Amino acid sequence: MVDLSMVIVGFIVINQFVVWFLRVDYLFKGLIVLPRLYIDNIQIRTT
């Protein structure tokens, strides 16, 4: 029999991992996409 507190703790840990993973994924996408958009804007303005 799995204890209810173990289920709650496990759920919180998994939830935190998912949130952290999504945040890291978002940060990496932001670091890749934002400079590229910025560079594209500079190139469009200079041409």
* Positions of the chain with pLDDT under 50: none
Three-state secondary structure string covering the chain:
CCCHHHHHHHHHHHHHHHHHHHHHHHHHHHHHHHHHHHHHHHHHHHC
The pLDDT, as a whole number, for residue 41 is 84
The predicted structure's pLDDT at residue 13? 96
Rounded to two decimals, the pTM is 0.47
Res 47: pLDDT: 61
Is the C-alpha dihedral spanning 30, 31, 34, 36 positive or negative? negative
